[in-house]
Structures are given as structure tokens and as C-alpha cells.
């Protein structure tokens, strides 16, 4: 059986290893399996593939209970496939992820169009467990696989005038039925300040839970910026542009009074329609009635990123 990325499990690892890993995933998702062991089985799965090897990075592991694979892959925001949380899992099978290229352009000395295989080999893969906080108030804890975006930035050699990076997602109405809905101006566009993008936490991501990214999670390549709300983590990226001006990002253009450019997780700055002081973990016992937990400044990553915003009014630059 193929997964949503069109890749057979046997392309990644032998079937017997794959099946054993799936059992371990179930244990990990139920909380009956230690996080350290969860990292081991994920690493072993990638080690079977000569082109993709992931090493756990203990610097970015959490004691939080992992969100189940089922919830991570079936509760998604990906408007290119529909606005309901279940739409991406239903409709993203139409996305063709091979061949795939990402063009790097703008204020760089080394513009280049990268194919997926070249990007997979650019830097050693790591497994990192990150908190993932959505602006609507739900959150997850996800084991991602990728490497720091800084590797691609350095390979591109930004010019001195480059201050921002713009990320542009695929917008093909033939593959993505949601693009026919004008809920946003397509293609989906996001952006980071260059120093944010260079932060080690910013992850160029190719997999989760020991597997290549499912289509509904942004295959075959996405961004994960764990101290910002989830919509900042652009999916299915096809273009990366270095610029000297702040990019006009999709949600800020669509609703500027609700979504700012920075979009850092800040429990003291409410969304106009709901509080951001608490969150509810998807998959927790009790479902939608699960107890809420306090949201941490910068989603718990203040030690790594707060210095980026020194002397900035984070109520104004939300």
C-alpha cells in the first residue's frame, strides 16, 4: 500500500521492519513507550534507506507525550485541500510529489533550482520533537525529521542586502481542489526575517514519525518554526526568495488585524476572536473536553529565540 506521498513502505525500509515500527508507533502514541525508544525506532527506519538517515537530536527532545500518528496526519490545516481539518487527509492524495523542485532566488550569490534528492543530501537528517501550536488554540507534540534551514541558507550565500526570506507553496488547482476556493490569495506565501530563519530551531522538514511527510502534512518539503503559530510553517514549498523587504504573507494580507507577520506564540496577545493564554492538546483524553494547559511564551522556546526580539514591542509586532 502506498502512503499519501506515493512512496511504498518498502522504498524506505523492509516490510518486516516497517510493520514492527508501526507497532512501536502505536505504543509510543499511547504513552506506553519511552520517548528515547521512540527516537530509536524512527532512526532505525531511516537508516534502512541509503539516501535518508536521521539521527535523534537530544537537544530538541521533550518529555511531553507525543501526539498520535493518527491525529498528526488526520487533523490538519492545509487550505489548498479544503478548510475542514479532515479535508487534507481526504483529498491530498491528488498531490504529486515526484518530481519536485525548489527554486532559490533573489538576493543570493548562488541562486539554484534544487531537486528533492539534492535537498535530501544537503545536510545530515535529524529527528527533533517539537511542540506545534496552532492559532485556533490546539496544539500537538510531533517528532519531525529534517535539518536546520540554515544549511540551505548558507549554501545559497545571501547578499548583504538580504533581510527576509519568502516561502512560496505550490498552488495547482488540478492537484489541490481548495485552490479553487478564494479563501486566500494563492499561492500561499509566508516569510521570516533572515535571523529567524538562521536560528537552529527553524527546520527544513521532510518527514515525521519515522516516515516521509504524508501529503496532508506538507509533502514533500515544508518548514517547521516551532516558536510561531503553525500557519508560519509553510507547506509543499516550491520557491524560496531572499529579499530586502518584508514579504506580504498570505494570512496578514487576508486578515491583517488578526494575523501579523511575526506571529510568535504569545499568551499575552489574544487573537481578536479568542484567547491565546491556554491551549488544548489534540488527542488528549477527553477530546474536545480535555483540560486546557497554559500556553508558554514562544511556545516554550524563549531561551533559544527571545533574544531575536530584544527591544521590540511584541504587542505591536504580533
pLDDT tens-digit readout, 115-160: 999 999 999 999 999 999 999 999 999 999 999 999 999 999 999 9
Q: Are 102 and 119 in contact (CB under 8 A)?
A: yes
- The answer as to whether 18 is a domain residue is no
Task: Note the pLDDT of residue 45.
Answer: 40
- Domain contains 138: yes
Whether the per-residue pLDDT at 78 is higher than 60: the answer is yes
Element (H, E) at 74: helix 69-74
Q: Which of the pair, 65 or 51, is modelled with greater confidence?
A: 65
Residue 315 domain flag: no
**Domain-embedded: residue 163:** yes
What pLDDT, in 10s, does the model give residues 29-49?
Answer: 444 444 444 443 443 443 333
228 pairs with which residues across the strands?
Answer: 264
- Sort 190 into a burial class: Cβ within 10 Å, 0-12 / 13-18 / 19+: buried
How many domains does the chain divide into? 1
Supply angle C-alpha 96, 101, 107, rounded to 5: 145
Establish if 48 belongs to a structural domain.
no
Domain that holds residue 92: 57-306
Q: Is residue 46 part of a domain?
A: no
190: domain CATH number?
3.90.420.10
Whether 301 shows a pLDDT value over 90: the answer reads yes
pTM of the model: 0.85
Residue linked to cell 507547506 = 235
Q: Cis peptide before 313, with omega less than 30 degrees from 0?
A: no
In a domain, 314, yes or no: no
* 316 found inside a domain: no
Amino acid at each position: 500500500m502506498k502512503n499519501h506521498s506515493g512512496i511504498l513502505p518498502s522504498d524506505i525500509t523492509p516490510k518486516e521492519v516497517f510493520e514492527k515500527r508501526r507497532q512501536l508507533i502505536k505504543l509510543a502514541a499511547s504513552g506506553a513507550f519511552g520517548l528515547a525508544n521512540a527516537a530509536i525506532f524512527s532512526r532505525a527506519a531511516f537508516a534502512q534507506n541509503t539516501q535518508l538517515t536521521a539521527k535523534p537530536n537530544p537537544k530538541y527532545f521533550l518529555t511531553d507525550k507525543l501526539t498520535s500518528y493518527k491525529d498528526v496526519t488526520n487533523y490538519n490545516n492545509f487550505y489548498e485541500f479544503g478548510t475542514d481539518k479532515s479535508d487534507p487527509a481526504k483529498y491530498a492524495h491528488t498531490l504529486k510529489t515526484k518530481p519536485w523542485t525548489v527554486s532559490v532566488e533573489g538576493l543570493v550569490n548562488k541562486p539554484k533550482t534544487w531537486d528533492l534528492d539534492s535537498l535530501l543530501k544537503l545536510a545530515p537528517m535529524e529527528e527533533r520533537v517539537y511542540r506545534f501550536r496552532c492559532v485556533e488554540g490546539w496544539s500537538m507534540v510531533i517528532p519531525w525529521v529534517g535539518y536546520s534551514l540554515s544549511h540551505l541558507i548558507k549554501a545559497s550565500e545571501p547578499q548583504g542586502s538580504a533581510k527576509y526570506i519568502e516561502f512560496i507553496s505550490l498552488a495547482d488547482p488540478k492537484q489541490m481542489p481548495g485552490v479553487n476556493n478564494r479563501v486566500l490569495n494563492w499561492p500561499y506565501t509566508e516569510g521570516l526575517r533572515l535571523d529567524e530563519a538562521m536560528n537552529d530551531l527553524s527546520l527544513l522538514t521532510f518527514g515525521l514519525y519515522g516516515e516521509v511527510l504524508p501529503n496532508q502534512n506538507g509533502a514533500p518539503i515544508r518548514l517547521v518554526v516551532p516558536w510561531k503559530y503553525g500557519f508560519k510553517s509553510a507547506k509543499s514549498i516550491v520557491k524560496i526568495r531572499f529579499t530586502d523587504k518584508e514579504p506580504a504573507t498570505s494570512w496578514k494580507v487576508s486578515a491583517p488585524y488578526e494575523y501579523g507577520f511575526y506571529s510568535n506564540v504569545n499568551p499575552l496577545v489574544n487573537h481578536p476572536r479568542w484567547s491565546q493564554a491556554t491551549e488544548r492538546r489534540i488527542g488528549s483524553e477527553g477530546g474536545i473536553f480535555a483540560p486546557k494547559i497554559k500556553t508558554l511564551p514562544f511556545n516554550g522556546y524563549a531561551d533559544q529565540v527571545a533574544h531575536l526580539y530584544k527591544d521590540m514591542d511584541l504587542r505591536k509586532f504580533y
